[in-house]
Structure 1
């Protein structure tokens, strides 16, 4: 079981580092590369560099708000 946990942890770390590297290159380095360079075909337009994290953050806040609301409602039902 411990080996499986380590494998999952390694995989999650690898995915996180890959996403961080891709996003950092996309936001920091790509604006300084000529727009006709072949590397641009591997990246979305620059507008999405802001829209995707904002959408993910709003979605996360919505799910957290619903979760906290459900926990509060359940705790009030137990008291009554």
Structure 2
């Protein structure tokens, strides 16, 4: 099981680093590149650079609130 945990951890690290690198290049470096450059074919329009994190944050907060609410309801049922 230890090897599987290390493999999953490595894959999650690689995926997180890839997403971070892509987003950083997209938001910080790409605005300084000419719009007719071929690299623009690999990136979404700039509007999505703000829309995607906002929706992801709202979804994360919603799931967190649902989880905390369900835990509070379960703990209230156990105490009575």
Q: TM-score range by the shorter chain?
A: over 0.9
Could you list the structure 1 runs, at least 4 aligned residues long, displaced by more than 4 angstroms after superposition: none
Residue-by-residue CA offset, 1:40-76 (whole Å, 9 max, x unaligned): 0100000100000010000000000011011111111
Partner of 1:77: 77
Partner of 1:42: 42
Alignment length, in residue pairs?
A: 80
Q: Distance in 2 between matches of 1:20 and 1:38?
A: 21
Tell me, yes or no, if structure 1 residue 21 matches structure 2 residue 21: yes
CA RMSD in angstroms comes to 0.6
Q: Please state how far the C-alpha of 1:2 moved relative to its aligned partner.
A: 1.0
1:55-66 equivalence runs, <5 A:
55-66=55-66
Q: Please state how far the C-alpha of 1:19 moved relative to its aligned partner.
A: 0.3
